[in-house]
């Protein structure tokens, strides 16, 4: 029987005032309902915001080491329940067991990381030019923050927003994505069990047009952090900044891997395949363009086709090479881009068809003879579709890599250290990797993009996240 889940508002698990619900289903077996959730509206969201506002003073005044203890204890609870959370993530989002387990572990690590960081929160002491003045700074929470999170990393991304927000003393209202909200509920349960005060965290499920818009525009919300599409993110930004909110956006990507003439085509294919086809290509940092020197182009195309053809599909709990798309609409979007690419004249080297089986499965697709002006080379696909673009030299490779509106992640495969250094300097991306896939992030360093991939205001993760959720106060103390 499907789970019957509720909103979490002011320390209570409660239904929407409308009584309406929506369902999540298993992407590998779409007829199977996983859980039902409240279809919340603006009134439900306002009640959650009011609860956060009422709780913000108590949570703000809680000593930072105590806040850290609660986060670490919640992390320990998540760790004990790792297998259960992994299965829930697989059943709602569709990832393979290995992928989902890795994501759950990342959330656990994030809670422990920011739990430890909380004890070191503070300001700095500076020398004053006056003899009788103590000069120092303090860092204070913003107040109430709204978090709007996506379905593709349904526990990791909420964790890397939520943990630093709570560690720094903010009260939070979070709207998880409607396709896979279950693991956010389980994070709330872990924090509740750890002793988080009522109202310091509130979880409201429902459509972005009701819940998300209310969070972005409500006068009692001091900051908004959003991850999702560029189109929606820009709307959130306009709404939130209209009354001066602090805003952090992380959005789409069209991430390149440049394959140099010095690269081993087989090694390059391993790196690109992992970045392009992992998590069914449903990552904002996924490799969607391989920009390949003509001297190794043919060998690379043969090798990447071999990698794509070797991937097996199945239910994520069986831990295949690739799981399904999260929904029918995401599958249809990928198939549409396959048709568009063929219509533009790109050569379909492999795949690109829906599998003749139950579930939202698609073969990974490899296109060669792609021109940088094609839609396939310019627009985010968000599926396991790779465009392979030939170039004649490294100058052209850099120009092609930068010839998009996005700038999230980029990598280069090369044995030439001079090329690698130049790539770091000249590539227009917030995350740059050398001889690595574009996907995969360390939690203790900043994450974010440039151009249409980000608001270019604040970064996430590491100490950068603490900066976003706090404001500095400078104190001149005469004694």
pLDDT score of 58: 97
Enter the tokens of residue 215: 């969070």
pLDDT in tens, 64-85: 999 999 999 999 999 999 999 9
Count of residues making up the chain: 479
pLDDT score of 141: 98
Which CATH number fits the domain that encloses residue 39? 3.40.605.10
Whether residue 440 is contained in a domain is answered as: no
pLDDT score of 285: 98
Q: What angle do CA 110, 5, 228 make, to 5 degrees?
A: 50
Whether residue 364 is contained in a domain is answered as: yes
Q: How many whole angstroms separate alpha carbon 463 and alpha carbon 2?
A: 40
Residue ranges of the chain with pLDDT lower than 70? none
Active site residue 250: yes
Which member of 50, 92, 250, 349 is catalytic?
Answer: 250
Q: Say how many domains are in the chain.
A: 2
19 with 37, same domain?
A: yes
Whether residue 280 is contained in a domain is answered as: yes
pLDDT score of 2: 82
170 with 295, same domain?
A: no
Whether residue 439 is contained in a domain is answered as: no
224 with 295, same domain?
A: no
Enter the tokens of residue 365: 């697709």
Phi, psi angle pair for 258, to nearest 5°: -85, 125
Its pTM stands at 0.96
DSSP, residue by residue, 309-328 = HT--B--GGG--SB---SSH
pLDDT in tens, 389-435: 999 999 999 999 999 999 999 999 999 999 999 999 999 999 999 99
The parent domain of residue 149 ranges over 3-251+454-478
Whether residue 441 is contained in a domain is answered as: no
Q: How many whole angstroms separate alpha carbon 325 and alpha carbon 102?
A: 18
Q: Which helix (H) or strand (E) holds 78?
A: helix 64-80
Which CATH number fits the domain that encloses residue 285? 3.40.309.10
pLDDT score of 271: 98
């Amino acid at each position: 029987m499907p789970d019957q889940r509720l909103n979490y508002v002011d320390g209570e698990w409660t239904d929407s005032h409308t009584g309406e619900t929506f369902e999540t289903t298993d992407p590998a077996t779409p007829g199977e309902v996983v859980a039902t959730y409240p279809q919340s509206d603006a009134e439900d969201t306002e009640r959650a915001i009011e609860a956060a506002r009422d709780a913000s003073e108590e949570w703000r005044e809680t000593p930072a080491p105590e806040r850290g203890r609660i986060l670490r204890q919640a992390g320990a609870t998540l760790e004990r329940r790792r297998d259960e959370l992994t299965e829930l993530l697989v059943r709602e989002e569709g990832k393979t067991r290995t992928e989902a387990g890795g994501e759950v572990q990342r959330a656990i690590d994030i809670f422990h990381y920011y739990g430890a960081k909380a004890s070191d929160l503070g300001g700095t002491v500076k020398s004053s030019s006056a003899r009788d003045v103590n000069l120092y700074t303090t860092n204070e929470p913003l107040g109430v923050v709204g978090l709007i999170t996506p379905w593709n990393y349904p526990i990791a991304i909420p964790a890397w927003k939520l943990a630093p927000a709570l560690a720094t003393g903010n009260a939070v209202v979070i709207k998880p994505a409607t396709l896979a909200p279950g693991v956010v509920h389980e994070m709330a349960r872990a924090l509740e069990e750890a002793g988080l005060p009522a109202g310091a965290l509130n979880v409201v499920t429902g459509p972005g047009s009701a819940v998300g818009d209310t969070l972005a525009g409500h006068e009692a919300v001091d900051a908004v952090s959003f991850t999702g599409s560029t189109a929606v993110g820009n709307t959130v930004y306009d709404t939130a900044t209209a009354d001066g909110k602090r805003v952090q956006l992380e959005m789409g990507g069209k991430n390149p891997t440049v394959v140099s003439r010095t690269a081993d085509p087989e090694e390059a294919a391993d790196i690109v395949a992992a970045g392009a086809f992992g998590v069914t290509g449903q990552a904002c940092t996924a490799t969607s363009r391989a920009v390949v020197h003509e001297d190794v182009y043919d060998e690379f195309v043969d090798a990447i086709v071999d990698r794509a053809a070797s991937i097996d599909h199945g239910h994520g709990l069986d831990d295949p090479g690739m799981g399904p798309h999260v929904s029918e609409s995401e599958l249809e979007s990928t198939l549409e881009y396959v048709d568009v690419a063929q219509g533009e004249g790109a050569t379909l080297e492999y795949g690109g068809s829906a599998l003749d089986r139950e579930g939202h499965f698609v073969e990974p697709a490899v296109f060669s003879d792609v021109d940088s002006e094609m839609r396939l080379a310019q627009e985010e696909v968000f599926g396991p579709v790779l465009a392979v673009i030939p170039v004649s030299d490294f100058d052209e490779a850099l120009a092609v890599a930068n010839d998009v509106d996005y700038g999230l992640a980029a990598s280069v495969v090369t044995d030439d250290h001079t090329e690698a250094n130049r790539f770091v300097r000249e590539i227009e991306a917030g995350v740059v990797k050398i001889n690595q896939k574009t996907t995969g992030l360390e939690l203790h360093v900043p994450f974010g993009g440039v151009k249409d991939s980000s608001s270019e205001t604040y970064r996430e993760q590491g100490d950068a996240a603490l900066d976003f959720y706090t404001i500095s106060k400078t104190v001149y103390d005469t004694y």
